[in-house]
Structure 1
Amino acid sequence: MSQQQAARSTTAGATDATAATPPGAGMAADIADQPEAFARLAETQSGAIADIAAEIARERPRFVMFTARGTSDHAALYAAYLTEIRLGIPAGLASPSAITVYGARPDLSEALVVGVSQSGGSPDIAEVLRVASESGARTLAVTNNPESPLAKQAGLNIDVSAGHEKAVAATKTYTAELLALFMLIEGIRAGDGKLAGDEAAAVAALPELARTVLADETPVQLAARYRFAERLVTTGRGYAYPTARETALKLMETSYLSALSFSGADLLHGPLAMADPDIPVLAIVGDGPGGNAMRDVIGRLGERRADVVSIGASDVEGAPIRIPVPAVDERLAPMLDILPLQRLALALALNRGENPDAPRGLRKVTETL
């Protein structure tokens, strides 16, 4: 066989292989693997996370700064809420460009700087950790790749053990990051790195709860309803706000839908004016303080006759449609609330004739400076 014939044969084989894989099969497999990913993380990494948490607890940082991009930025936002609420330590999200583009060298002594990245391959996140270490900060990487540049740059490293992700859009790596950060921060709070009995039991229950959530077909039904939507709004407060942001990102990158995300409080400060029956609103409304704060927001949206879908364990007045999720501690709810919304993004993309496994113009590892 000539080189030209071999090239044609190889190309044809690759094309046949691609054609044999249905659109969205990779993302569907990643979503379905999340119950096992929860179990795998708890089983294989709980000891290592507890050791890191205990070490950090002994040092007691005065400030915690998280640095991340994309989906991991939403996991970092969740961790910032958890840090301030549970540890009483000020926390924030870094602007990597302040360091990488403008050359800033902030004083991060006595701080814990945490880089969160599925791939650990973006140079700007690693550079933030390098600069932070030089200024005297303790650095920690939370990644799905313990051999990545970010993990090697950090003084400490947590492997979220999500396994290989088939689709470009992150799903199981996101929820694994959430769980790893929960275990870390609650371990720091405990002092010895170990979860309290009720928290350990809640983590052990996550896989079965996740299977229950993933078995519900409401997201698929909603995808048909919103197939021709041009815009969509997501909203939540507290621990649910990162879920709202992650949902908007998933819809944008898989369905190319213009999705805007607001905290419930910010929604009332102006964006509420755009609400009308033609713009669907996905509202994450749990049973804790954040969910209670959202109920007035839902009422205001109802006054605008907005098309509101709530995601939560109980019905909410003003939201005629609900995506059901189990009632769990508000700290753990983001790990379950996002699951049906990932399925909605997948189903909506397929309904619109797109392939969510390979969004146009995107790659699995995005390198920025």
Structure 2
Amino acid sequence: MTSVELHAEQSAMRREAAEAGTAVTRFLAHNEKNLKALAERLRAYPPNVVVTCARGSSDHAATFGKYLVETRLGIPVSSAAPSVASVFASDVRRTGSVLVAISQSGRSPDLLATVESHRAAGAYVVALVNQPDSPLEKLADCFLPLCAGPELSVAATKSFVVSLAALAAIVAWWSEDEALKDALHGLPALLDQAYARDWTALVDALAPANNLLVVGRGYGLSVAQEAALKLKETCGLHAEAFSSAEVRHGPMAIVGEGFPILALATSDASGDDVRAVAGEFSGRGARVLLADCSQSAGTLPAVPAHPVIEPILLVQSFYSAVETLARARGMEPDNPPFLRKVTETL
């Protein structure tokens, strides 16, 4: 199948990912008052800790939120383990926390049990959910609908992008960061640009591959995690995500001649480390695919922007490429084997 034929066949995944810019516009317009009210509440009653609750792609978004809250507000962020509530039925002590629950469906029993447990311990619950009228919405003190619209493809795309934008918006309004607010309002147009970037080099390099590492750091670690998941989910390709710091430990031992590396580098200091490790891997003969927002020479063209926004643009370019890669590998991106759209874990 030629590249022209691949693009001519419009999967739901491709159509939905292309709608991300419109979805972000919808989220910001719908939630402007909610964001302002939430920010005022968080400044009036600052939490001792922020706890996130999510699974899958939503948990990758939570990683993004962790870096944002800790670097921009200095508040520790912890990830809740849903099994603590749903399997072990353990109570949570009062911590003066804000719980941020992120979900596409808002229906998974273990996520709901976790939210109920933290709420009973006095946590203020903020919920980001895409599907309307969910049980999670009813448990929230502050509900921010993602407004991404229906996703028919099993692989989430636009809802993940909006989840990242939503977390950035919460932090921007909370910290009264006008530069980040402006960057968010400019994000939809940049998403369209990012989706149009030509990442054919990724498709060509990974079509015959069996394994690879995906590397990011800081704000970009979350999208490295998301990229690795999507490569497994839609392409049947074994991919693992690592921080550029962690990859220098045990994982580095498997990187040799011709081993594929996808490196996602933002323009800030964390991106400098991704660029450095990409250079180290290139030096030992690895096949490095570098997307570099610093506008340095990279294998994959990236859109430079505010450092917080750049990971969102990187994953948008990746979504376009991975959908093409899936079909180049003979996979059906909308319906990966053994998976369904809503996974209700206990």
Following superposition, the deviation at residue 201 of structure 1 comes to: 2.1
1:19 corresponds to: none
Following superposition, the deviation at residue 23 of structure 1 comes to: 6.4
1:83 corresponds to: 69
Q: CA RMSD in A?
A: 1.6
Aligned equivalent of 1:297, options 277, 289, 294:
277
Question: Does the alignment pair 1:62 with 2:31?
Answer: no
Following superposition, the deviation at residue 169 of structure 1 comes to: 0.3
Question: Does the alignment pair 1:271 with 2:248?
Answer: no
Query: Which letter does structure 1 place at the counterpart of 2:73?
Result: L
Query: Which letter does structure 2 place at the counterpart of 1:277?
Result: E
Aligned equivalent of 1:323, options 300, 304, 309:
300
Mapped to 1, the partners of 2:172 and 2:93 lie a distance apart of 27
Mapped to 2, the partners of 1:81 and 1:313 lie a distance apart of 18
Structure 1, unmatched stretches of 5+, are: 1-21
2:173 corresponds to: 187
Structure 2, unmatched stretches of 5+, are: 1-7
Following superposition, the deviation at residue 157 of structure 1 comes to: 0.9
Of residues 147-156 and 165-174 in structure 1, the stretch that sits farther from structure 2 once superposed is 147-156
Check the 8 A contact 1:287/1:330 in 2, yes or no. yes
Mapped to 1, the partners of 2:249 and 2:136 lie a distance apart of 38
Following superposition, the deviation at residue 248 of structure 1 comes to: 0.3
2:35 corresponds to: 49
Secondary structure at the aligned position of 1:114 is classed as: strand
Alignment of 1:1-369 (within 5 A): 25-190=11-176, 196=178, 198-217=179-198, 219-314=199-294, 321-369=298-346
Query: Which letter does structure 2 place at the counterpart of 1:255?
Result: C
Of residues 304-313 and 174-183 in structure 1, the stretch that sits farther from structure 2 once superposed is 304-313
1:9 corresponds to: none
Q: TM-score, normalised by structure 1?
A: 0.88
Mapped to 1, the partners of 2:173 and 2:22 lie a distance apart of 22
Following superposition, the deviation at residue 315 of structure 1 comes to: 5.8
Instruction: Encode CA deviations 1:237-294: one digit per residue, 9 max, x unaligned.
Output: 1001111000000110001110011111110011111012332101111110110122
Check the 8 A contact 2:215/2:243 in 1, yes or no. yes
Instruction: Encode CA deviations 1:87-128: one digit per residue, 9 max, x unaligned.
Output: 111111111112211222121431011111111111111111
Q: TM-score, normalised by structure 2?
A: 0.94
Secondary structure at the aligned position of 1:322 is classed as: coil
Check the 8 A contact 2:267/2:307 in 1, yes or no. yes
Mapped to 2, the partners of 1:228 and 1:337 lie a distance apart of 23
Check the 8 A contact 2:295/2:302 in 1, yes or no. no
Check the 8 A contact 1:140/1:156 in 2, yes or no. yes
Kindly name which structure, 1 or 2, has the bigger radius of gyration based on alpha carbons: 1
Mapped to 1, the partners of 2:9 and 2:137 lie a distance apart of 33
Secondary structure at the aligned position of 2:299 is classed as: strand
Following superposition, the deviation at residue 60 of structure 1 comes to: 0.5
Query: Which letter does structure 1 place at the counterpart of 2:110?
Result: D
Query: Which letter does structure 2 place at the counterpart of 1:259?
Result: A
Mapped to 1, the partners of 2:258 and 2:286 lie a distance apart of 7
Secondary structure at the aligned position of 2:245 is classed as: helix
Check the 8 A contact 2:86/2:109 in 1, yes or no. no
Secondary structure at the aligned position of 1:222 is classed as: helix
Mapped to 2, the partners of 1:307 and 1:221 lie a distance apart of 11
Following superposition, the deviation at residue 338 of structure 1 comes to: 0.2
Following superposition, the deviation at residue 55 of structure 1 comes to: 1.4
Of residues 254-263 and 98-107 in structure 1, the stretch that sits farther from structure 2 once superposed is 98-107
Mapped to 2, the partners of 1:106 and 1:189 lie a distance apart of 28
- The alignment of Structure 1 onto Structure 2 pairs a total of residues equal to 339
Following superposition, the deviation at residue 224 of structure 1 comes to: 2.9
